[in-house]
Amino acid sequence: MQKIAILGSSGSIGVNTLKVVRHLDPRFKVSALSVYNNIDLLEEQIAEFKPDVVCVVDKAAASFLKAGLMAQSECFRGKKDL
């Protein structure tokens, strides 16, 4: 199984990459996701793909990430963490 990181998972390329991963599911494990500030979509992606690590670049937006989802994945905030 290949582990992959999707930087910009809420953008069009990231969303389409995750569609491909869904199709090839047994071959890939999404181990990391990052977004700038789209917390709603990131929460859906965390619930589906259960990555080991997530990063939200916008620190203010990161504060809205649900605590339960943060417990599933290690969560980083800000440009330095990315």
Q: How many domains does the chain have?
A: 1
If 0-12 CB within 10 Å is exposed, 13-18 middle and 19+ buried, where does residue 30 land?
buried
Q: What is the mean pLDDT of the chain?
A: 89
SS3 of 80, please? helix
CATH of residue 62's domain is 3.40.50.720
Looking at per-residue pLDDT, the higher value among 9 and 71 belongs to 9
Q: Are 59 and 34 in contact (CB under 8 A)?
A: no
Asked whether the predicted pLDDT for residue 68 surpasses 70, the reply is: no
Mean pLDDT over 56-60 rounds to 89
Asked whether the predicted pLDDT for residue 76 surpasses 80, the reply is: yes
Q: Give the range of the structural domain holding residue 8, as residue numbers without chain letter.
A: 2-81
Asked whether the predicted pLDDT for residue 82 surpasses 90, the reply is: no
pLDDT in tens, 27-56: 899 999 999 999 999 999 999 999 999 999
**Vertex 37: Cα angle to 76 and 7 (nearest 5):** 60
pLDDT at 26: 84
